[in-house]
Structure 1
Amino acid sequence: MTDSADVSDNPPPTPPTQTHGHSRESNIALMAFGAIGIVFGDIGTSPLYAFRETFVGPHPLALDDLHVLGVTSLIFWSMTLVVSIQYVGMLMRADNKGQGGSLALVALLSRFIGRSGYGWLVVTLGVFATSLFYGDSMITPAVSVLSAVEGLTVVESSLQPLVMPIALVLLVLLFFLQKRGTELVSKLFAPVMTIYFVVLAVLGLMHIVTSPEVLVALNPWYALQFFLSDRLLAFLALGSVVLAVTGSEALYSDMGHFGRGPLRLSWFGFVMPCLLLNYFGQAAMILSLDAAAASEAIQNPFFMLASEAFRLPLVILATCASFIASQAVITGAFSITHQAIQLGFIPRLSIRHTNETEAGQIYIPVINWALMVAVIVLVIMFQNSSNLASAYGIAVTGAMLIDACLLAVVVMAVWKWKWWLALPVLAVVFIVDGAYFAANFMKVPDGGWFPLLIGGVAFTMLTTWARGRVLMRERMAEASLPMEVFIKSAGSALRVPGTAIFMASNTGGVPSGLLHNIKHNKVLHERVVILTVDIADVPYVPESERCKVSDLGEGFYRLVLHYGFMQETDIPAALQDQKICGGPFDMMSTSFFLSRQTLLSAKNPGMAIWREKLFAWMMRNAASPMDFFRLPTNRVVELGSQVEI
């Protein structure tokens, strides 16, 4: 993708350095430890509410052996099929130069099927999955923090009125911390989450030892028996069981931060066993109680695992874990927004770096405050975590189903599996993901409409911006003058000392800023550089391939700067120490000319009028190109023009 005024300025973390021998092994272990704190917070806080919601949610289940063992078996096999096989086993192999996530996968597939008849469908699916992520990133902090704080009512029932105020204070504090960066706090993430997972395992194991018969739920027959005995309730229960695998997308999206090996080591070697021990422990506890005690315990089984003396420390630990999980989701929202900006689906936004050495630690104010407002509205609107859990899941399962579709394209078009091998594997994936999505769709009236609404709004904005940019560039290209003709006709113009850099979105024709400059100022600089920023479909472009120059003669040069969609577009840094285009660049004698377009409605508009108005509004509110490209503000000249779309 090519851009100049429609690109972002935020990079990601540098890819992990390749080492050899013993140091490589220690690096993998260290990164696996770090991943526990960053990646697994979302799925790690699911035991706070997933098992409970299956029994006390919108479609309650009886607390008998059939249902308890059936639900436990469903949780185990869901974790195995969805997380371990679909995401960790298969999708992690579908990386784009080490990067994962829906947009990275779309960029990868575009290189293989971009020109085919269904390439547009792949892009649309990826954009919709990204849109659903924003709904998920609003609900995750709300439901996680509320669930943890609700543990106070297990310690002391009279604290119920304080649950919502405490949760709101914690959430507001979380969002206000973002602009200060998370470097200091993030050092505690891995140790705290490691302690948290160990506590999960110990609490679960204590109850499994006293009721080992719960381990029969490892047999898929108990899940099948649940469906055979109670088909409708079993189907509806999937809508709550899937809460146990929320956060699967994070494993794939954060692959570029830690690498495939460390994430697999963390998941199979530590996180998955701890989670399963806790779920089986909750089931064992319920089975060991009489009917009255079980009915009381199921209202908050996670905290009831601990003895009364340890419940308050457990509440504090769970609150810390939910805080970390929320932080990871917010950071993910910043990261995916940066990718979407670079790939041309979102207009420029102001992006700040919170760490001078870690490029991936970024802060996007607009996204941060929008998420904060949405989270506060959610907490006030839904009141408790059980109500929020009804809204949770539809976005997650929608993204899972889309990832399954994209995986099918990868399997057939990229990996080129034989049909007899691909068909049964993909059939299992689609049956599982489709069943979860269908079950969660039943929750739309109970709150599932919220993430769908957010996803729909985000999808409309992303596609409107992408379509509007295409139309605008087409119209500008139609009116563009060939560069060769312009150079010949401008040969007699007065030349003044210095360098003029004109930003251009296309690598052909004369940028409108250059035409307006010579029309109004009637001069040309000694050196004129037509600069285009090209965003590739790969996460990183090496420094050696950054600059491509064409000498057009008469002091004119065309310069293309190539970046990956995870890299920062810092133009002065790219030009520093470069001797391309006839010599080094001195910023004090270099002027940057930017074009600012005003949109007009054409007689035959390329988009619906309301989408044109939306696109125009997004253009007006886009961040300044000066901040976006890190241009020196005292060396920038903006020239306006009008474009019909």
Structure 2
Amino acid sequence: MASQFHPLFKTNTKTWNQSILLSFQIIGVVYGQLSTAPLYVFGTMRVEDLESEEVVYELFSFIFWTLTIISLIKYALIVLKVDDKGEGGTFALYSLLCRNAKVGLLPCDRTANEVTLHDQDTSTPNNKNNSSDSRTRKAIEKHKSCHYLILFLALFGSCMTIGVAVLTPALSVLSASYGVQRSLSDMAHLFNSSQHTQDLVSNALYKYVPVPAACVILVALFVVQSCGTQKIGFMFAPIISVWLLFVGVVGAYNIFYWDVKIIYKISPVYMFKFVMNVNVSRWRLLGSTILCAAGSEAMFADLGHFSKKSIKITFICLIYPILVICYAGQAAYISKNLQERDFNHLSQSMPSHIKHVFIVLSLLSSAVGSQATITASFSIINQCLALNCFPRVKVIHTSKTIYGQIYIPDVNWLLMIFSLTVTVGFRDLVKIGNATGLAIICGMLVTTNLMSLIIALYWEKKLTVSVLFLVCFGFVEAAYVSACMLQFHKGAWYLVILLVVSMTVMLSWHYGTVKKYEFDLQNKVSTEWLIDVSPGLGISRVAGIGFIYTDLVAGIPAFFSHFITNLPAFHQVLILVSFKSMPVPHVLERERYLIGRIGPKDDKIYRCIVRYGYCDNIRETSDFEEEIISSIGEFISIEQMSDIESMVSAEERMIVVGQSSSLDGNALVPMVNESSKQVGINESQISPVLENESDMPSSSSSSRRKKKKVRFMLPEDKSSSPKMQASVRKELLELIEARESGSAYFLGQSHLVVRDGSNFVKRFLIMVFRFFEKNGREPPVALRIPHAALVEVGMICTI
């Protein structure tokens, strides 16, 4: 089992002070939605459906057991035990299945798997496996349809998370705004005796107060997202803490004032009575009841932002008991005030002398309550990005110690636009609540299905345990899905629109990426072609280093063979660089680079595979070129050691560099600036380009470039370190000289074209893919390539 804390946390995060600090931030970020759900659970129910005290008691029993079964037992006690090395969410479960059941459909061929997935996941709980589980694993791995189904579930769950992030802010903020409208309307009734005047004032307040106020709050909410999770947590946690204390005290007051026996109504007998007397109108009420568990999925999805232990303890000891008291108090009030106006809204259950305090707190907390869904959508989309299931967008890491805390500007503004559209378009809590309930329960049902596979294939429990989990929780959630579908024509249809849009984007990007990779795989040329055939083409070698970026980890990409066929020349040193996303959250620095050699040593052609997890922040690193050259220098030094065979894979002698301590002082030595002095450096070993660069004018731009320029040299020969062979020293010197001569970057630009006669679906998916590829905010490779050194080679890929 993975550590309770994020693997990249600093050491001091394990102290009690840090744990308390995280727990405080969790209240505002993770549990905001759960804490503010009382604003709209009863409020989204139709008044005419709450016809008697018995119905209220039955619904309260459903609310209690929904919180207990889904939020407490399923998520807090079971699902939170499954984390992908500190990360949670739908794609975290999918990545675990990809590694443990070989069901991945991400663009990666067998050679890539053999080269990059050589290390085993040590977090598997046990290695035991009975015959039935083995048959299940083999059946799932054998049938391709199961792979597509699991990927569809992962994408569907991600779309539901995005849908909740759109709908929940609109629902919570609009419900609080209607509370303001009701408060102002009550004040107007005190000053106007005429019923006609009261009706005019109420209609004016209803028309001009809730929606504009909600829009202003929504804009402010999404604007502050750029501050980052940590700052938002500090800002929002006090608000939610005061809100929880307030509704908890008021709930206890209502219990003792209106109906102290409401506590006995949690009995499952009341749920049984509800089912026995059920009809269509009563069954629809369950679509609003499920909103009490809104935010439970965010507990798991936001796992990368905080520690598992803090999330679990905070929910069990604080959130759960306060919510039960709050819902009990509201049910007690409603059961005794069925004749009052708007009796089902939380604001009406507040004592009159503190109602204005409630209005202020509800406005603030409703905005905060949406934070959990927004941060969850950021986490899910970041995972989709790394696994090539979402178009390239800019990801900003807002914390240097907790890499799971991110902000995605483009997604943030799109969520804001959709939320404002929902608020202005519907202007109705019931319709927005119907769509939100369907999104929440569908996301939970996806988690249940994936968790049942995790239990069987990752935890390796008996198949009966997996089936029991699926049946128990799946039956409850399927009942809620049926209730939400009855409201499909009353607002839930909007979720289908969001689903179609987001699923189209994800599927088209995944489809286009896979087809593009398959084309490159089918049209690659062998390394022997570059080594054996190229001399016959009269190819000349020019000074410098050529970086070739390709998705392939074996062979030569077709675009480079196309380039040298038309322009027969390439650099003195050639490095084929591949970035490979791994189905893990993080790849350690010492295991990130795999280096290999293509052909004989005299050709000086190398391959570098840069591995990264779906939560690694590699795009903001600007020193990849230096790291790759340093890794190649280490590779050259490793080749002279006798234990190389234990570190070599079957393909092109790929070696994991960065983890051999015996090479200290026996590879390239970086020199950050010109003032650095290394003992034992022979000045004749440094290329004359170094001296020429020091005579350049000291403009601001050139000085900035010099600061980033890292030069390499050979270490001093010491008696305590292994003796460097003459051939190794010569090859390292040639690498240094090539670096000082300059670098060029070759990048293939493959343009997908659909064959004539292809069906409409294929054409549409490729059209969407080309649109997002052309308008992507991030470059296709992680390195910040200077434009003057970039060589783009275009090719037409007909699929």
For residue 406 of structure 1, report the CA deviation from its aligned partner: 0.9
- Match for residue 65 of structure 1? 53
- Say whether the 8 Å CA contact 2:396–2:406 is kept in structure 1: yes
Q: How does 1:140-539 map to 2 (within 5 A)?
A: 140-157=168-185, 158=201, 159-160=205-206, 161-179=208-226, 181=228, 184-210=231-257, 211-289=259-337, 291-293=338-340, 295-298=341-344, 300=345, 302-353=346-397, 359-491=403-535, 493-539=539-585
Which runs of structure 2 are paired with 1:604-643 in the superposition (5 Å)?
Answer: 605=758, 608-625=762-779, 628-643=782-797
Q: Is the 1:572–1:631 Cα contact (8 Å) retained in structure 2?
A: no
Q: Secondary structure at the match of 2:547?
A: strand
Structure 1 residue 231: Cα displacement: 4.5
d(CA) in 1 for partners of 2:578 and 2:339? 71
Aligned 1:573-612 pairs, distance under 5 A? 573-577=623-627, 579-582=630-633, 589-603=742-756, 605=758, 608-612=762-766
Q: CA separation in 1, counterparts of 2:213 and 2:25?
A: 29
SS at match of 2:57: helix
Give the letter for the 2:632 counterpart.
C
Q: Kindly tell me: are residues 96 and 514 of structure 1, through their superposed partners in 2, closer, same or farther at Cα, counting changes over 3 Å?
A: same
**CA 1:594–1:631 in structure 2 vs 1: closer, same or farther (change >3 Å)?**
same
Greater RCO, 1 or 2 (C-alpha within 8 Å, sep 6+):
1
Corresponding letter in the other structure for 2:524: S
1:127 aligned partner = 155
Q: Offset of 1:353 from its aligned partner?
A: 4.6
What letter corresponds to residue 777 of structure 2 in structure 1?
A
Quote the Cα distance in structure 1 between the aligned partners of 2:396 and 2:304: 21
Distance 1:262 1:569, change over 3 A: same
Report deviation, 1:142: 0.6
Return the alpha-carbon distance in structure 2 between the equivalents of residues 357 and 330 of structure 1. 21
Measured after TM superposition, the shift of residue 591 of structure 1 is 2.5
Give ranges in structure 2 of 5+ residues lacking alignment. 104-140, 186-200, 634-667, 671-709, 712-738
Equivalents in 2 of 1:383, 1:636: separation in Å? Answer: 52
Deviation at 1:347, TM superposition (A): 2.1
Deviations along 1:120-175, whole A, 9 cap, x unmatched? 21111111111122222111111111111211123211543211111111212333
User: 2:100 is matched by which residue type in structure 1?
Assistant: F
For the Cα contact (< 8 Å) 1:110–1:119, is it kept in 2? no
Question: C-alpha distance in 2, partners of 1:413/1:124?
Answer: 18
- 1:467 is displaced (CA, Å) by 1.8
SS in 1 for 2:578: strand
Aligned partner of 1:39 in structure 2 is 30
Letter of the aligned partner of 1:155 in structure 2? S
> After the TM superposition, which residues 79-98 of structure 1 pair with which residues of structure 2 at under 5 Å, given as runs?
79-98=67-86
Amino acid at match of 2:623: A
TM-score for both structures, normalised by structure 1: 0.91
- Correspondence 1:558 to 2:575: no
CA contact (8 A) 2:385 2:392 kept: yes
User: Contact 1:135–1:452 (CA<8 Å) still a contact in 2?
Assistant: no
- How far, CA to CA, are the matches of 2:791 and 2:403 in structure 1? 29
2:582 partner amino acid: A
Q: Supply the distance in 1 between the matched residues of 2:226 and 2:428 (Cα, whole angstroms).
A: 28
- The 2-side partners of 1:286 and 1:98 are apart by 42
Do 2:37 and 2:292's aligned partners in 1 also have CA atoms closer than 8 Å? yes
Preserved contact between residue 73 and residue 223 of structure 1 (Cα < 8 Å): yes
5+ residue gaps, structure 1: 1-11
CA contact (8 A) 2:523 2:558 kept: no
Secondary structure in 1 aligned to 2:631?
A: coil
- Partner SS, residue 344 of structure 1: coil
1:562-594: per-residue Cα shift (whole Å, max 9, x none)?
111111223643444552224567688333222
CA deviation vs aligned residue, 1:540-562 (integer Å, no higher than 9, x gap): 11111011100224111100011
Say if 1:264 and 1:177 are closer, same or farther in 2 by CA, change over 3 A. closer
Aligned match of 2:714: none
Distance 1:123 1:185, change over 3 A: closer
Q: Secondary structure at the match of 2:371?
A: helix
Structure 1 residues 534, 640: closer, same or farther in 2, change over 3 A? same
C-alpha separation in 2, matches of 1:418 and 1:183 = 41
Greater Rg, structure 1 or structure 2? Answer: 2
> 2:432 and 2:777 mapped to 1: Cα distance?
34
Output the amino acid matched with 1:556. Answer: I
Partner of 1:48: 39
Amino acid at match of 1:221: V
1:568 aligns with 2:617: yes
Query: Structure 1 residues 406 and 633 mapped into 2: Cα distance closer, same or farther (>3 Å)?
Result: same
CA contact (8 A) 2:26 2:233 kept: no
Say which SS state the counterpart of residue 579 (structure 2) adopts.
strand
Q: TM-score, normalised by structure 2?
A: 0.74
Deviations along 1:236-287, whole A, 9 cap, x unmatched? 2211100111111101111222222111101100011111111001011123
Counterpart CA distance in 1 for 2:787 and 2:228 is 25
* Mapped contact 1:201–1:275 kept (Cα < 8 A): yes
In structure 2, relative to structure 1, the CA distance for the partners of 1:490 and 1:99 (3 Å cut) is same
Cα drift, residue 356 of structure 1? 6.5
Q: Partner of 1:538: helix, strand, or coil?
A: coil
Report how far residue 530 of structure 1 moved.
0.5
Matched-pair contact (CA < 8 Å) for 2:154–2:446: yes
Asked if structure 1 preserves the Cα contact closer than 8 Å seen for 2:347 and 2:355, the reply is: yes
Q: Considering only aligned residues, what root-mean-square deviation do their CA atoms show, in Å?
A: 2.5
Structure-1 separation of matches of 2:28 and 2:326: 18
Q: Structure 1 pair 234/411, CA: closer, same or farther in 2 (3 Å)? A: farther
- 1:176, distance to aligned residue in structure 2 (A): 3.3
Check the 8 A contact 2:295/2:372 in 1, yes or no.
Answer: no
Q: State the partner residue of 1:9.
A: none
CA distance in 1, matches of 2:554, 2:791: 22
Question: CA separation of 1:635/1:192 partners in 2, compared to 1, >3 Å: closer, same or farther?
Answer: farther
Secondary structure, counterpart of 2:746 in structure 1: strand
Q: What amino acid is aligned across from residue 245 of structure 1 in structure 2?
A: A
Q: Look up the match of 1:106.
A: 94
Between the aligned residues of both structures, percent identity stands at: 27
1:271 to 1:513, Cα distance in 2 relative to 1, 3 A: same
Quick one: structure 1 residues 32 and 352, their matched pair in 2 at CA, closer, same or farther if it must change by over 3 Å? closer
Maintained 8 Å contact 1:113/1:119: no
Q: What letter corresponds to residue 238 of structure 1 in structure 2?
A: L
Contact kept, 8 Å, 2:520 with 2:552, in 1: the verdict is no
